[in-house]
Amino acid sequence: RAMVVEVPDRGWVQPVLDAVEEFAETKPYKIARPVVPNARDRDDGRLADCLAGGRAVVGVAPDPDHALPELLLSVADARVSLTPPDAAMVVEVIKRAQGGRIPPRAADLAVELLSFEEITSLIVQGGKASESVERLEAAIAKKLKVRSGKTLPRLEDAIEFGAARKWALDLRDDLSDVRKGIIGMDQVDRGAVLFGPPGTGKTLLAQMLGEACGIPTVIASVAEFFATTGGYLDNIIKAQRKVFAEAKAKAPCILFLDEINSMPNADTVGDRNKDYWMPVILDFYTLLDGAMSDRDGVIVVGATNRIEDINPALLRAGRMERSIYVGPPDVAGVQRIMRHHLAGDLIDADLGMLAKYDNARQATGSVIMEQVRAARRSARRAGRALSLEDLEKQIVSDDPRNDDDIRRSAAHEAGHAVAGLLRNTGELIGVNIMHTDVAGGGTQFEKQADFFRTRSGYEDRVIMLLAGRGAEQILLGEPSQGAGGTSYSDLGRATNMVAGMFASVGLGDSLVFRAPAEETTGLMRVDRVFAGKVETMLAELYDQTLTLLRHNLEALVSVTDALIEKRFLTGEEVAAMVVKNESAASPDQGPGKSAHQAPE
């Protein structure tokens, strides 16, 4: 007399209710809940009356446990869980509803991409089976096209992706060898994590990889597992299982998991939350291991802007075993991206200087795409064809700063660049003093997946961060506010790193874990002794920063002057100035000291 029906998604609710009513002996009382209601709406006063009067009751929802009235859940005589139709089921429906021969390829239809309404509308009662299969194939192809983008660059041409492109090409060739029977799937990379700043094209690269390999790309966001499920653990688990099931159904395929750092880290969630999140974490690891160990051709590619937040257990051999940096493109990469979005326009124009400007400001692929769009919009509104000047106006803007401000910006960025090279904080890509709406310049180092950073490694990075302020003090007599102001500023990041050394990673004066790195700022607000330790260490490292820059004053001045003249320098150009300074130091000055006299 009471039944609960769990359906795959909200599109199934009304069709299932219609079917129940059609086949029921008496008209049942129906409860349809496509979405989870507010708690006060879950109580249904009429339900108790219907049950007491012997009337049949049926409740249908994608998530019955959180959507349907508790009374119905308690007294239901039956509970039915409907699964999405697979290709075999759709073939059976076609066989019963239509005439003619069913093409054998129908058994491979990826019908899980289609909704209930799409499937039923594409199978016409009394029509030809072959025509229905063709309609289903066309609809699935459109879905895949929407997911993979309208037009994708060729993987072979996408030089801006650097090491990530090489990995992708190797994977493409390996999958080709699998098809030829030369190697087995056990010799193919199981997965990788692409990491780097937002807008650098990590999702695009996964789509290009799928297209180059001739296989579909299943795109999902780990963050959406939590955002679209109301935070209920069982719903989160269902969401992630659904994604992995879709990938296995389409294998061989690329499973792209964006924002993979959103999966809670069992080592940092804290004891209070660990028991709550462990079922989700363990289920995710089980799904990941299962997709890879089955060797059915699921290649898992994760993406993150914050690789430091990912649990190393996720990156171990057999899981996401490669970490590949995807950063802003170099000059050649910028030009290729511009040409792709220009789509044949300005074919004879020299984009070299504009590409250098964008490279200097670390423009990402998404920024470059928007520049071309804005240039087209400007030309369209002026009623003329796109010109190089339209694009220049989007990239090169007038600098509103006076000479003193430009020199200060140059000194600041030169400090970062010189100190970073001397303390080996990563490969220097370039440095610039280009004016934008959010910054007056920038220094770009190749980001590395540094999971085992030592205390000296932390100190080197802090010195590099403090060197911008230090260079201003040495060359201009006093620092400005440019090093601080936000948690993402030089001082903000340096403070967070030092606090993390003491409170998070056991590289201070205690082995006690007091808080995750992101919570150490709050700890300083309430613990004055702890804040004092952080301040003392920052002061010591700042003194070391000033000493380092004074000993390499020749290089600091040279880089500053060159930036004022050129606006941007490559890493190689800066390195040459640093080497020249070291070789020019006289023997009696000691190692690394400059002939310049720095003001104290």
List strands edge to edge, sheet with 298-304: 217-221, 253-258, 298-304, 191-195, 322-325
Q: Which helix (H) or strand (E) holds 298?
A: strand 298-304
Give the structural domain span for 346.
331-395
Do 439 and 576 fall into the same domain? yes
Kindly state whether residues 503 and 426 are assigned to the same domain: yes
CB 300 within 8 A of CB 292: yes
- Residue 87 in contact with residue 106, Cβ under 8 Å? yes
One-character DSSP codes across 358-390? HHHTT--HHHHHHHHHHHHHHHHHTTS---HHH
- Give a yes or no: residue 11 inside a domain: yes
**Which of 325, 345, 365 lies at the terminal end of a domain, its last residue?**
325
Q: Output the pLDDT for position 268.
A: 67
- Whether residues 143 and 164 share a domain: the answer is no
Judge if 122 and 200 occupy the same domain: no
301 φψ region: left (φ > 0), alpha (ψ -120 to 50), beta (else): beta
Query: Side chain identity at 395, as an amino acid letter?
Result: I
Peptide bond before residue 252 is cis, with ω within 30 degrees of 0:
yes
109 pLDDT above the threshold of 70: yes
With the C-alpha atoms ordered 281, 287, 292, 294, is the resulting torsion angle positive or negative? positive
End position of a domain, from candidates 54, 81, 108: 81
pLDDT tens-digit readout, 154-204: 888 888 898 899 999 999 999 888 877 788 777 888 889 999 888 888 988
Q: What angle do CA 322, 328, 331 make, to 5 degrees?
A: 120
116: in domain: yes
Average pLDDT score over residue span 562-578: 92
The structure's pTM equals 0.55
| Nearest alpha-carbon partner for 110 in 150, 82, 80, 140 | 140
Q: Do 141 and 163 belong to one domain? A: no
CATH number, domain containing residue 538: 1.20.58.760
Is 416 found in the same domain as 391?
Answer: no
The secondary structure element, H or E, covering residue 291 is helix 271-293
Do 75 and 91 belong together in one domain? no
Query: Tokens for 509?
Result: 């004066």
Q: What is the CATH number of the domain that holds 197?
A: 3.40.50.300
How much is the mean pLDDT over the chain?
Answer: 84
Q: What is the pLDDT of residue 143?
A: 62
**Overall average pLDDT of the 197-216 stretch:** 88
Q: Is a pLDDT exceeding 70 seen at residue 150?
A: no
pLDDT-above-70 percentage for the chain = 90
- Judge if 408 and 535 occupy the same domain: yes
Same structural domain, 408 and 547:
yes
**Residue 27 counted as domain residue:** yes
Based on the fold, state whether residues 274 and 162 are members of the same structural domain. yes
Determine the Cα–Cα distance for residues 138 and 399; give it in Å rounded to an integer.
Answer: 52
Q: What is the pLDDT of residue 507?
A: 92
Q: Collapse the DSSP code of 302 into the 3-class scheme (helix H, G, I; strand E, B; otherwise coil) and give the result.
A: strand
Greater pLDDT, 191 or 140 = 191
In this structure, the answer to whether residues 15 and 76 fall within a common structural domain is yes
Question: Is residue 594, in this structure, part of any structural domain at all?
Answer: no
The whole-angstrom distance between residue 334's C-alpha and the CA centroid of its chain comes to 20
Compute the distance between CA of residue 452 and CA of residue 45 in angstroms, rounded to an integer. Answer: 60
Total domains present in the chain: 5
More reliable by pLDDT, 72 or 377: 377
Residue 598 is assigned to a structural domain of this protein:
no
DSSP annotation string for 131-146 = HHHHHHHHHHHHHHHH
My answer on whether 127 and 274 are in the same domain is no
In a domain, 187, yes or no: yes
Collect all residues with Cβ–Cβ distance below 8 Å to 146 and sequence separation of at least 6.
none
